[in-house]
Structure 1
Amino acid sequence: MSTIESGAMHRVMTRCGRFTTRHPWPVIAAWLLLAVTVAALVLAFGRPVDEDATLPGSAGQHGRDLLEAHFDGAGNANGQVILRSSGPRLDEPATAAEIARTTARIGDVTHVASVGEPVLGTDGRTGYVDVTLDVGPQELTREMTDEVLDAAETPGLETLPGGALSRAGNGTGHSEAIGVVVALAVLVVAFGGLVAATLPLVTAVIVLVIGIGAIGLAGHLTGIPSVATTLGTMIGLGVGIDYALFLITRYRSLLARGHDVRHAVVGTVASSGSAVVFAGATVVVALCGLGVAGVPILTTLGWTSGLVVLVAVASATTLLPALLTLLGPRIDALPVRSARPGRPSAWGRLADRVIRRPWRYALSSGLLLLVLAAPTLAMTLGQTDAGDRSADSAERAGYDAMAAAFGPGINGPLTLVAELRPAATGPGDPRLAALTGAAAKVPGVARAHPARLAPDGAVASVRVIPDTAPSDPDTLDTAGRLAALDVTGAEVSVTGQTAVRGELATRVGDRMPLVIVVVVLLSGLLVLVAFRAPVVAAKAALMNLLSVAAAYGALTAVFQWGWGARLIGLDGPVPIEAYVPMMLFALLFGLSMDYEVFLLTAVRESWDRTRDNRRAVRDGLAETGVVITSAALIMVCVFASFVLSDEPVIKMMGLGLAVAIAVDATVIRGLLVPAVMTLLGDANWWTPRRRSAPVMSERAG
C-alpha cells in the first residue's frame, strides 16, 4: 500500500481535514488576512526587479566587481533616452535648444544622478543621452522610468527608451485574463455548475496575490528578474486551479456516495490532499535541483516558483476544504448542464484498447514522441535582446533606431577592465592609451572609447562597441579576443551584460547533465517513497524525460528554426535563451510528476483492492482520465496564453510548458504509461521488502 493511502502523510492530512471542518471561518479569515497584508505591502513598497545577470566565479563577473569597487556609481542603473526626428536635424539650433531643455528636465527628475551630453548618429536625425540614476538595477521601478520618460517628451521629436529604461516592467495582464477565462470555461464543462467551476479560480487568485506579492517584496532583499513574477503567475494559475480541481472532484464523488459534508471533506483531504502534497513536493524538489547549476538566475527562478507552488498546496489543503465545508451540497448549485461526475466510459474504452494491444500502443506512441523530440539534437543556446521583441514595441523601436544610427553593437557594448600593476599615477599613464589602441584593433570591434582611470589608479576601463548585435554569436567571439589581449602591466577581463550572459550560456551547457541527474534522482526517490515501487518510480522518470524532450523539440523548431514564428508574434528565428531549457526541465519534470502521481494513486488503489494489474491499469485510467485531461487542458490554455507576451523568453516558457503538458496528458498518460504498465505486469509493484497491508478504508470514507 502506498504512502499516500496510509502511513504518516495520510494521518497528518486526515488531522488537517478535521481541523478545517471544525474551524472553517478562522481558516478562511487567516487566508484573507494574509492576502490583504501582502497586497497592502506591495502597494506601499512596490515590487522592484533586477534584470542584470550575475555569474559568480566568471571573468565577466570579476570585471563587474572591479568596476563597482573602484568607480563611484558603477553599479547604478544606466539607460538611454533616444530622440528621433522625422524632420529637421537634431543639431539645428532650434532643435538643439529644445533638446537642451529636455536634458535639463530629465536632470531634475528624482533619482536621476546625471545626464550625459547628446550624442548624434550618422544620419543627424537620431541621437541619445545617457541617463544614470542613483539606484541600482535592483531598486529601479517602473514608476522611476516613467518619470524619466515623461520628462523626456520633446515637441516635434519621437522619444524612445533604451538600456535600463526599457526593461522596467513588461505587463502580462492580458495573458492572465485570457488564461482565467479559458480555465473558467473548461471548469464549467468539467463540473457542469458555476459554483464548482468558480471555486478553483477564487483559490487561485488568492494564491497569486500571496505568492506573487511575496516574490515582489523579496525584490527589496535580493535581485529578482521580472521573468520570475511572470513565471510564478503561470505556475500559480496552473497548479492552483489544477489542485483545486482534483480535490473538488473527489469531494463531489464522496458526496454522491452518500457521505455527509464533514466526512466527505476529511476523506478528500486525506486522500486527494495527500496526493496534492506529494505532487507539489515533486515540483518543489525538481526546482530545488536547479541550485546545483551554480547560476544565480536559475536559483532565483527555482525558489520563487517553488514558493508559489507551496502556497498553492497549502491553499488546496486548508482554504479549499474550509470553503467546501461551508458550501456543503451547494457545491453543485447553479448548474448549467446535467453533470456526470467522472464520466469514465470513453477513457475506459481507450484503456481497454491499450490493454488489449499494449505493444502496438507502446511502440507507436514512443515513436511519435521521438519524432517530436528529434529537433532537440540541433538545439543551441544563446541570448535574446530587444531586437527580438515585437516590432510594434517601444523597446524594439529604440533598439532599431540605435542600431540604424550607431551600428548594431551599440545595443550591447562590452567593457574592457584592466587591473593596473603598479597603479597608474594619473591619466597620462601610457598603459591607458595602449589599452584603447589594442582594443580598437581587435577584429569585430567597431570603435573603442578612451580609457577611464579609477580615482585610486588601480583599475582602468574601456567601453568597446562591437560591430555585431548582442545576440550575434560573433559578439562573444569578439569578447573572447578582447579578453586575450596582452598589455604590459595590465591584467584584463571583459564584462558587460552581453559578456556575462555569454558565459552564463557556457556554464548552463556544462552543468545541464548534472542538473538532469539530480532532478531525476530526487523526483524518482520521492515517487518511490510515495508508492514503494522501484519499477514505477523508474518508469515515471523515463516518461517525464520524454515529455521534456518533446518540449525541447518544439522550442528548437519554433524559435531556433523559425517554424511558425510569425504566428506567435515574432519576425523570425530568435536565439533560445541559455537558461530557459534548464528551467523548463525542472518545471516540466515536476509538473509531469503531478499527473503521474494522480494516475498512479488511482491505479495503486485498484491494485491493492484486486491484485490484478490489467484491471488496476484500466480502472486507474478510466477513473482519472477526464480529471487529468481537464486539468491539463487548463494548464495548456494558461501557459499558451503567455505566448501573447512581447517578451521572447516568456513566449519560450509558455510554448514549452504548453506543448509538454499537452503531450504528457494525452500521448504519455493516455497511451504510453498504461501500455508500458500492462507489459510490465506485476513487476510494477515489486519491492525488495514486500509487506501485506490491509486494504485502505479511505475509499469508503
Structure 2
Amino acid sequence: MARFLGLLGGWCARHGRLVLAIWVIAAAGLMAGSLLSGRPVSNDVSIPGTDAQRAHDLMRDGFGPGFAPGGTVQLVLYSDDGQLVTERRKNAVEKVIDQLERMPHVEVAETPYRRGGIASNLQIGMITVRMEGHDNAKLAETTQALSKAADPIRAEGVEVVPADSSTPADKEIKTGPSEIIGVVCALLVLVLAFGTLVAALIPIFTALVSVAAGLGVIGLLGHVVDVPKQAGIMATMIGLGVGIDYALFLLSRHRKLLADGVPVLESVRRTVASSGGAVVFAGGTVMVALSALVLGGFPLLRTLGWITGISVVFAVLTSITLVPALLGVLGEKVNALKVPFLGRRKESSGWAGLGAWVARRPWSVLLASVLVLAALAAPALALKLGPLDDGYGDQGSAPRRAYELMATGFGPGVNGPLVVVAELGEKVASADAPIVKTLLKDVENVDGIAHVAPAKLNASGRSVMIQAIPDYAPSDERAPGVVTAVRALDRPGVDVHVGGEVAALADAAGRISDRTPLVIGVVVLLSALLLLLAFRAPVVALKAALMNLVSLGAAFGALALVFSYGLGSRLVGMDPPADASYLQTVFFTVPIESYVPLMLFAVLFGLSMDYEVFLLTAVRQAYLKHGDNRRAIAEGLGSTGRVITSAALIMVAVFVAFIAYPDPLVKTFGVGLAVAIAVDATIIRGFLVPATMVLLGRANWWCPRWLDRLLPNLSIEGNEHEEEPVKIRERQKSMI
C-alpha cells in the first residue's frame, strides 16, 4: 500500500494543475447537477416485519393513499378575539375548503365544523387535508401551498398554522451559518498550528471540495434511492471534520520533511506513502463502522449510514490526490504568508515530555484516567430514549405552534393518534356491523385512550380502520404502553394491528434495541481486524478497539447531562413549553431518538479510531528503529500530539458550531460528537493509551508466527522501504 500510495502522490504532485482542475470541475459539476435536478429526500420509516408496518400496509392498500402515513396535512385555526363559528368565518372556511379540494392530489378537505373538528372553547379548529397520489418527498412544499390557500381565513383575523405528519427529526435540514462558523474556527486553529496562512488554507480548500462533491453525489442519489433528510447535514458535519483532519495530517508530515531538507516532490511522495496510508486506514475504519448499521434492522438508519459514508470516501480521495496536487503546485510557497509570532515553536518537545512523564508513572496515570472517564460516563445510565415530537421544535416555528394549539384544544394525544387496523375473519357489509361496533368499544375502553373516531370499512369489507386518540403526547413515556394494550385486544375473527407515529417509533426502538449488541460486536471486531492488518499486533488491535468504547461512554454521559437531566438543554437552544414551571424551565429534559445512540456509536467509533491509527503509526515507527518501548511511546506522542490536538480542536469546533441548528437531532449529534472527540484526543490519547502501552511493554507488538505468515504485509507506515530496511525487518521478525 505504501508503495502504491507513494507512486500516486508523486504523480499527483507532478501533475498538480491537472488534478486540481479535475477535482474542481467534478465538484462544481456534481453540485450543479444536484441543484438543477433538485434534491428529493424521503425518510423511509418502514420497518419490515413489525406490527406497525403491517398496519400501514393495510391502510395504504385498503383505504387509499390519503390514509397512509405522510398523506395528511392539517391546517390549525385559532382565534384569540372571538369564536370560529361566526357566520363570516364559517363562510371563509367553506370557501377555502372548496379551493383546497380543487388543488392537485387533494382527495378531500374535511371541515372543522364536523364532530371532533373544533375544540370545546370554539376558538381552535382544524382542517384535515388528505392527499392521493402525492410524492411525500415534497410534503414540505405541499404543506406551504395548502397554507397559502388559507389566506381568506387569515383575512378574517384567524391564525392559520400548517402541520404535517412529520416530526422534528423528519424536517428537511438546510445548510447555513453553522458551516461557515465551523470553517472559520477551523481556519483559526490551522493558522495557530502552522503559523502560515497558505498552509492553513490547504486543508480548508480540500475539505470544501470534498464536501461539495459528496453533497452533489448524495443529492443525485435522491433520484434513485430514498435519501434521508438528515443525510446532507450529517455528510457536511462528518465531511468537514475528517476532510480537514486528513489533510492536516498529510500537510504536517510534508512540512516536517521540507524542514529536514527533502526536495518538494520527494517530500510529497514520502508523505502520501506514510501518512496517506494512515489516512486510508482511518477512513476505512469509519466506513466499516457506518456500514455495520445495515445490521440495525431499521432501513432509515441503514441508509443514513452508508449515505453519510460517502463524505468519508471523498475526504480520503481528496486527501491522497488533491492535497499532493496542491503541495506540488505550491512547492516551497506552502510556507508563504507567515503570521508573526506563530509557528516558531518546537512541535514535539512538550508532547514528548508528557509521554516521558506518563511512562515514569503508568499505574498512577492509568488509575486517574479510569476514574475521570468513569465519572464522565456515569450519567449515561440515566439516558432517556424516546420519540421527538413537534413539542420539542424551535420556539415560534409553525410545527411547534400547531402542536401546542392542537394539544390545548384537543388534548396532547391528538398530536400522535393511533391508527388501529383490524383484519376481519369474515366480510361485513358496513361499519355498523356488530363485530365492528364491538371492536370500536373495546378500543375505546383501553386504559389511556381518550376517545375514538367512527370506524371506516375498506372496499373489500375485510378490514376496518379506527383512529384512537390517546391521553398522552407522542413523546410521553406512557404512550408505547397504550400501543401494547391495544395490540393485546383479543376477539375471535379479528386480527388487530396498530400503526401511526407512536406505534412505528416504538417498534423501531424495539428492533434497534434487539440488534444493538450485534452491531457493536461487528464494529469492534472488524475495526480490530483492520488494525491487525495495519500493525500486525493483535494485542494493540484489540486494545485500541476496546479503548474507543471508553470515549463513547463519555459522549453518552454528556448527552444524559444535557438532555436527560436537562442541565444544559437551554444552553444548546432547546426551548421549554410556554406554560412550563420554573423548575421545568431550568431542567428542561429532552428525549433522545432511539436510533441516535447507535448512529453516534458508529460515527464516533470510526472517528476515534482515526487518532488511534495516527498515534500507533508514529509509535510503531519509533519502536521498529530502536526497540525501546518507553522511548517509542514518548517519541510517538511527541511527533503526533500537536497535530492530533489541532485536528481534535477542528472537529470539536465544527461539531459545536452545528449545535446552533434549531433541529434537536442535529443538536444531539453536535453535543455527543464534540464531547467524545475532546475526551478522546486529550484523556484517552494523551494519558490512557500511553499508560497502557508502557505497562504492556513488548507485548504491544507481539504476533504469533503462524498469524504473521497469514497476514498480508500492507505496510501503511511507508518507512520500511525508505530507511534502513534490512535492520527494520530483522527487528520486526525478532518481535514475533
**Same fold? TM cut 0.5:** yes
Counterparts of residues 448-463 of structure 1 (less than 5 Å): 448-463=452-467
Equivalent position of 1:130 in the other structure: 128
2-side partners of 1:397 and 1:160: how far apart?
7
Letter in 2 for 1:696: E
**Greater Cα offset, 638-647 or 515-524:** 638-647
Counterparts of residues 425-444 of structure 1 (less than 5 Å): 425-444=429-448
2-side partners of 1:453 and 1:505: how far apart?
31
Match of 1:29 among 21, 37, 41: 21
RMSD: 2.2
Letter in 2 for 1:655: V
Equivalent position of 1:86 in the other structure: 80
**Greater Cα offset, 129-138 or 598-607:** 129-138
- Structure 1 residues 375, 336: CA separation in 2 closer, same or farther (over 3 Å shift)? same
Q: Secondary structure at the match of 1:558?
A: helix
Equivalent position of 2:418 in the other structure: 414
Asked whether 1:140 is paired with 2:141, we answer no
Counterparts of residues 486-501 of structure 1 (less than 5 Å): 486-501=490-505
Equivalent position of 1:245 in the other structure: 248
Equivalent position of 1:358 in the other structure: 362
Displacement after TM superposition at 1:507 (Å): 1.8
Counterparts of residues 298-337 of structure 1 (less than 5 Å): 298-337=301-340
Letter in 1 for 2:287: V
Displacement after TM superposition at 1:115 (Å): 2.4
Counterparts of residues 32-181 of structure 1 (less than 5 Å): 32-51=24-43, 53-73=45-65, 74-75=67-68, 77-118=71-112, 119-134=117-132, 138-140=136-138, 142-153=140-151, 154-155=154-155, 156-164=157-165, 168-181=171-184
Counterparts of residues 215-614 of structure 1 (less than 5 Å): 215-337=218-340, 338-340=342-344, 343-570=347-574, 571=576, 572-614=588-630
Displacement after TM superposition at 1:108 (Å): 4.7
**Greater Cα offset, 590-599 or 569-578:** 569-578
Identity %: 47
Give the conservation status (yes or no) of the 8 Å contact 1:79–1:130.
Answer: yes
Give the conservation status (yes or no) of the 8 Å contact 2:143–2:164.
Answer: no
1-side partners of 2:345 and 2:269: how far apart?
19
Give the conservation status (yes or no) of the 8 Å contact 1:239–1:309.
Answer: yes
- Structure 1 residues 133, 199: CA separation in 2 closer, same or farther (over 3 Å shift)? farther
2-side partners of 1:126 and 1:295: how far apart?
37
How big is each residue's C-alpha offset from its partner over 1:353-389, in whole Å with a ceiling of 9 and x where there is no partner? 1111111111101110011111222334211111122
Q: Secondary structure at the match of 1:383?
A: coil
How big is each residue's C-alpha offset from its partner over 1:105-154, in whole Å with a ceiling of 9 and x where there is no partner? 44454554442222322222222212234455642254433333333342
2-side partners of 1:112 and 1:124: how far apart?
26
Equivalent position of 2:11 in the other structure: 19
2-side partners of 1:479 and 1:106: how far apart?
33
Give the conservation status (yes or no) of the 8 Å contact 1:558–1:565.
Answer: yes
Displacement after TM superposition at 1:520 (Å): 0.4
Q: Secondary structure at the match of 1:682?
A: helix
Q: Secondary structure at the match of 2:74?
A: strand
Equivalent position of 1:6 in the other structure: none
Q: Secondary structure at the match of 1:381?
A: coil
Asked whether 1:615 is paired with 2:600, we answer no
Letter in 1 for 2:72: N
**Greater Cα offset, 538-547 or 504-513:** 504-513
Letter in 2 for 1:630: S
Displacement after TM superposition at 1:321 (Å): 1.5
Give the conservation status (yes or no) of the 8 Å contact 1:49–1:137.
Answer: no
Stretches of structure 1 that go unaligned for 5 or more consecutive residues are: 1-8
2-side partners of 1:181 and 1:149: how far apart?
38
- Structure 1 residues 642, 699: CA separation in 2 closer, same or farther (over 3 Å shift)? farther
Q: Secondary structure at the match of 2:490?
A: coil
Q: Secondary structure at the match of 1:577?
A: coil
Asked whether 1:658 is paired with 2:674, we answer yes
Match of 2:190 among 187, 199, 218: 187
- Structure 1 residues 42, 131: CA separation in 2 closer, same or farther (over 3 Å shift)? farther
Displacement after TM superposition at 1:540 (Å): 0.4
1-side partners of 2:400 and 2:488: how far apart?
33
- Structure 1 residues 682, 266: CA separation in 2 closer, same or farther (over 3 Å shift)? same
Q: Secondary structure at the match of 1:423?
A: coil
1-side partners of 2:102 and 2:184: how far apart?
44
Q: Secondary structure at the match of 1:465?
A: strand
Give the conservation status (yes or no) of the 8 Å contact 1:640–1:658.
Answer: yes
2-side partners of 1:218 and 1:695: how far apart?
40
Q: Secondary structure at the match of 2:570?
A: helix
Q: Secondary structure at the match of 2:478?
A: helix
Letter in 2 for 1:580: V
How big is each residue's C-alpha offset from its partner over 1:56-99, in whole Å with a ceiling of 9 and x where there is no partner? 11111111112112222144532212222221211111122223
1-side partners of 2:510 and 2:456: how far apart?
30
How big is each residue's C-alpha offset from its partner over 1:634-665, in whole Å with a ceiling of 9 and x where there is no partner? 11111112222222221111111111000000
2-side partners of 1:334 and 1:217: how far apart?
39
Q: Secondary structure at the match of 2:571?
A: helix
Give the conservation status (yes or no) of the 8 Å contact 1:361–1:672.
Answer: yes
Q: Secondary structure at the match of 2:339?
A: coil
Q: Secondary structure at the match of 2:262?
A: coil
2-side partners of 1:208 and 1:111: how far apart?
36
2-side partners of 1:458 and 1:391: how far apart?
44
2-side partners of 1:500 and 1:133: how far apart?
21
Give the conservation status (yes or no) of the 8 Å contact 2:75–2:163.
Answer: yes
Displacement after TM superposition at 1:627 (Å): 0.4
Equivalent position of 1:5 in the other structure: none
Give the conservation status (yes or no) of the 8 Å contact 2:173–2:233.
Answer: no
Stretches of structure 2 that go unaligned for 5 or more consecutive residues are: 577-587, 726-736
How big is each residue's C-alpha offset from its partner over 1:307-359, in whole Å with a ceiling of 9 and x where there is no partner? 11111111111122212211112222222234237611221221121111111
Give the conservation status (yes or no) of the 8 Å contact 1:48–1:138.
Answer: no
How big is each residue's C-alpha offset from its partner over 1:485-519, in whole Å with a ceiling of 9 and x where there is no partner? 12332211101121011111122222211111111
Aligned residues: 693
Give the conservation status (yes or no) of the 8 Å contact 1:253–1:341.
Answer: no
Give the conservation status (yes or no) of the 8 Å contact 2:32–2:216.
Answer: no
Give the conservation status (yes or no) of the 8 Å contact 1:609–1:695.
Answer: no
Letter in 2 for 1:93: E
TM-score normalized with structure 1 length? 0.95
1-side partners of 2:247 and 2:103: how far apart?
47
Give the conservation status (yes or no) of the 8 Å contact 1:138–1:223.
Answer: no
Displacement after TM superposition at 1:172 (Å): 4.5
1-side partners of 2:134 and 2:251: how far apart?
46
Q: Secondary structure at the match of 1:576?
A: coil
Equivalent position of 1:682 in the other structure: 698
2-side partners of 1:649 and 1:347: how far apart?
36
2-side partners of 1:207 and 1:150: how far apart?
39
Letter in 2 for 1:377: L
Letter in 2 for 1:140: K
How big is each residue's C-alpha offset from its partner over 1:166-192, in whole Å with a ceiling of 9 and x where there is no partner? 754233512222211111111111111
2-side partners of 1:353 and 1:679: how far apart?
14
**Greater Cα offset, 543-552 or 228-237:** 228-237
2-side partners of 1:614 and 1:495: how far apart?
60
